[in-house]
Amino acid sequence: MKKTLFLLLLPLFFFSCNHKADKEQEISIIPQPVNLKKISGSFNTDSLNVIFMGVDQAALFNVAMHCKTMFEPVLGHKIEIVKGTGKSGQMVLDIDPDLGSEAYLLTVNNNLISIIGGDAAGVFWGIQTLKQLLPPDFEKGIRMDAFDIPCIAIEDEPRFVYRGMHLDVCRHFFAVEDVKSYIDLLVLHKFNIFHWHLTDDQGWRIEIKKYPLLTEIGAYRDETVIGRNSGEYDSKPYGGYYTQEEIKDIVAYAEDRFITIIPEIEMPGHSLAALAAYPELGCTGGPYSVATKWGVFDDVFCPGNEETFEFLENVIDEICLLFPNSPYIHIGGDESPKTRWLQCEKCKNRIENEGLADTHELQSYFIKRMADYIKSKGKSIIGWDEILEGGLANNATVMSWRGEEGGIAAAKMGHDVIMCPNEVCYFDHYQSKDTENEPLAFGGFTDCEKIYSWSPIPSDLNENQASRILGGQANLWTEYILDLDHIEYMVLPRMAALSEVLWSQPDKLNYDIFVKKLQNLTKYYDARGYNYAKN
């Protein structure tokens, strides 16, 4: 009798459990929080007309304004920002430094929404999580009736301090509003670093007052190769650059959203655009022209010439003023051929006078000298892993892109490392094996599953060495990317996979669950009108 009753009730039991699981799955947050607990009930937004701030009003005011401007158009009524601890039907934002940087506690109950951060950034990330609890149509910013927010308790903090996205604006140029839209993508996925690649062979994209020819000449190329260095060209002049006022505007936009911009000024290689403007800085004296095809070029800055260092130091002076809150200047340091240096008398003299062994040590001399100058300005350098060749500056951070080997070596030497191995973190790769039906890409194949299965900390590092891994970054090179629509396609939804790898704790990572959550996140992509890969 009991066995029969159990068998009769078993389907009902499983139905109940599955129904509960389905209800739990409605709470879908990317990246996955440290702890998430669903509570019965909901908060209705009809009564939300006040945002209370805790004692640190100065730090929280801009964050509160984000909330205000986010909710007001949708709810159709004004929301007041006041100092206080809150009351029924309202929202409270506060800071508790004991939580730690970027950490937050988000609680929604029937009467109150509370977001407490370890700092203002933590409160801001809590708001981004809250947005994923709202109806997707909320993202459209149009008037809606009052709606319910599910009750929940979330405790969260990021795993890594460096969670970066890179954008190359040299191969193709993107307008100010496009760059801001890219920053918005970072915010949605809780990335906190925007690595902005501003100079290269195909264009110099930032105004430097002391050297106006950098943008008058270096920002424009005569034409652009069609496809992958096909030998055919479009015969159309191409270019553009950001004025210093535009740079300041974008920097302020990012900082208001707790995104740090790290500018990259390439040296000693990838410098044809600069040499076209100031040919005396190269080994041969030119003439040079801004590159019209893709690749690596022999003509680079001449380290035997004192004018080269005077020029670069003056450029760095202006860069530091434009990016005052960035702790780093990225100096590239990659793909710099030694061909011209081997033939240059000035370079030979530099090698002899400095007691250097060869041109590899000459590159190290170049990097160390610029690192020292940048350090004198209160900042440190980041360089691609080629800066390991010939010896590394003491305060250099290595960005490991040619696999993980460079990062492993740097960590074992006691240097900070940012991991971005090209086989996982280069978002200019195809994200489908059906390349005939994909937009033109650099090559390779990198999908969400490959990204999600990657660990930024290599297994052969001990605990002390592993602490040198600051985090990771995805890189987007734009040889074949011409507009924002294509940018979105290349980074979405791969950004979501990387965001969870860099934010969430390893024991919270589950690819099958991530795929289910991604189905919910794409509803928000749709609401924002993003062009994302659906394969």
Band of residue 9 on the pLDDT scale cut at 50, 70, 90: very low
Q: Which CATH class is domain 162-528?
A: alpha beta
Residue range 445-465, pLDDT digits in tens? 999 999 999 999 999 999 999
Token couple for 241: 């650059």
C-alpha–C-alpha distance, residues 31 and 52, integer Å: 27
C-alpha–C-alpha distance, residues 468 and 314, integer Å: 31
Residues 389-399: what's their mean pLDDT? 88
Residue range 304-334, pLDDT digits in tens? 999 999 999 999 999 999 999 999 999 999 9
Residue 32 DSSP symbol: P
Domain ranges of the chain: 21-156, 162-528
Length of the chain counted residue by residue: 535
Band of residue 392 on the pLDDT scale cut at 50, 70, 90: confident
Among 96, 318, 335, 483, the active-site one is 335
Q: Do 79 and 71 touch, CB atoms closer than 8 A?
A: yes
Residue 66 bears catalytic tag = no
Taking the CA of residue 408 as centre, how many other CA atoms within 13 Å lie in the half-sphere pointing to its CB? Answer: 12
pTM of the model: 0.94
* 21-156 CATH, one of 3.40.50.300, 3.30.379.10, 3.30.70.20, 3.40.50.450: 3.30.379.10
Residue 270 bears catalytic tag = yes
Among 195, 197, 270, 330, the active-site one is 270
Residue range 64-105, pLDDT digits in tens? 999 999 999 999 999 999 988 777 779 999 999 999 999 999
Residue 526 bears catalytic tag = no
**Intrachain domains 21-156 and 162-528 with the same fold:** no
Among 102, 119, 156, 200, the active-site one is 200
* H helix or E strand, kind and range, residue 371: helix 359-376
Please choose, from the candidates 254, 244, 247, 264, the residue with its C-alpha nearest in 3D space to the C-alpha of residue 197: 264
Residues 351-355: what's their mean pLDDT? 98
